[in-house]
Amino acid sequence: MVEPGTALSSVGTLIVKNLELKQIWLKLQQEKLEEYVNDFFKDCLSKGVLLASPDVLKKSLLEALAQFLKLIEDELLFECELTEAEVRDTYQVEIGRFIRDDEVKPLLGKAFEKDCRGIDANQLRTIWVQRYSPNMPTGFNWDGIAKQYVTEVKRLVRISPELRAMLELEIQESIEQQGRENAGITPDFNLTKYQKGLRDRYSNLNLSSLDTTGCAYNQLKLWRLFIPQYEPSSMREFILVREIRIQAVAAIATTWHDSPDTLPWLKQKAQSDDDSTVRQAAVQELAKGWKDEPWLFELLRDRALNDPFVREEKWEENPRQLALKIIIKQYPDNPQTLPLLRDRAENDPDEQVRNFAQNKLAQLEN
C-alpha cells in the first residue's frame, strides 16, 4: 500500500491532509491507475503530455484530482454552506463515482493541454444531473469550479519540472493577456525567455529570511517571510508573486500551526496586508485552523466591518463578504450575527456585499 501523500508535492499533501473528502483520494491512490491515466490524458496525445513517464503522469493525475476535490469541497462548505458531516454523508460516495466517470476523466485531463483556456462546465453539470444524486445544492457553481481548476492545473504544470520541460506552458489568464497588451509588448518580444526567467525566479518560496537557529521547525520565525524585497515590474510578475504569497499563507498555517509565531502572523496578514487576496486567504485559514477559539468571532466581525477593500472589478472577491459567509456558517446562533448582517445590508460600501447580506437576512429571518 502506498503511504498517503507520497505521490504528491508538499502543496498537494497539504491539500489532501485538510480534505473532508480525503477518503475518495486515498482510495484512488491505492488503485492501479494505468487505465485511469490513459482515459484522463487521452485527449492530450497530440499535445505531448504522454511523452512523460508513467510515474510523472500518475503524480500529475493525483495532484489534479486533489485540487478538483478541494474545489468541490470548498464550494459545498463555503458557498453552499453545508456542514462537513453533510458533505461527507450526502456527497462523498457520489463524488467518488463522478470522478471515475468515463466522460468526466477526459474532461478533467483536458486542462493539461497546452492551449486549454477552459473545460466544459456545462458538460460536468449535465453529467452530474443525469447520472448522480442528490442534485448539488442551489447555487453550486460548476462554472467557477471549472475555471479555477484549469488555473490550478496550469500552476501545477508550471511548478513541475517534468511537465514544464515538455509543455512550455504560457499563462492563459485573460488578465495577463490584457497586461501584455497594455504594456505594448513588441512583436519580437522573446516571451519564452522572459517566461523562463520568471519561473526560475519565483518557482520556489524564498525562505532565506526564516530564522532556523532553533533545533525544531516549531521554532522558525515566520514574520519576515512576506517583507517585500522590491516592487513587481510587470502585471505578470505581480500575479506570480500574488500566487506564491497566497499558497504560502496556507502552507504556513498548516505546517507551522503550533508555532507560537504563526497565529499572530496570520492575524496580522488578515488585518493589514496590502493585498486583499492575501487578507482573504489568511481569514480563511484562521477560520479553518482555529475555528473553536473564543476570539475568532470578534476577529471575523472586525474583518466584516473594517477590511479596507474597495471594489475595482465585478469579479473581485471582497474579504468582508468572506468574513460574513464564515460567520453565518459557524456562528448562526450568535446574538451578534443578525445585527451584523443588518448593518452590512444597509451600510457596506460594496453593493455586492449589501446584496449578499440582504439575501442572507431574508433566508435567516423567514
In angstroms, the CA 198 to CA 194 distance is 6
Set of cell numbers at residue 44: 492530450
pLDDT for position 112: 83
3-state secondary structure 267-282: HHHHHHCCCHHHHHHH
Task: Note the maximum CA span of the chain.
Answer: 62
Residue whose grid cell is 532565506: 208
pLDDT for position 30: 72
Give tens-digit pLDDT for 233-244.
Answer: 556 566 667 777
In angstroms, the CA 228 to CA 148 distance is 27
Please tell me the total number of residues recorded for the chain in this structure: 366
Closest CA to 72 of 42, 92, 58: 92
**Angle CA(47)–CA(243)–CA(286) in degrees, nearest 5?**
130
pLDDT for position 1: 35
What letter would DSSP give residue 75? I
Closest CA to 48 of 170, 173, 164, 144: 164
For each successive 10 residues of the chain (366 residues), what is the average pLDDT?
A: 44 58 76 78 56 74 88 90 90 92 91 82 94 93 92 80 54 42 47 49 43 44 46 60 80 84 92 92 93 95 96 88 94 93 95 93 82
pLDDT for position 203: 41
Q: How many CA atoms lie within 13 A of 8 on its CB side?
A: 20
In angstroms, the CA 195 to CA 165 distance is 12
In angstroms, the CA 156 to CA 9 distance is 10
User: Hey, what amino acid is at 105?
Assistant: K
| 3-state SS, residue 65 | helix
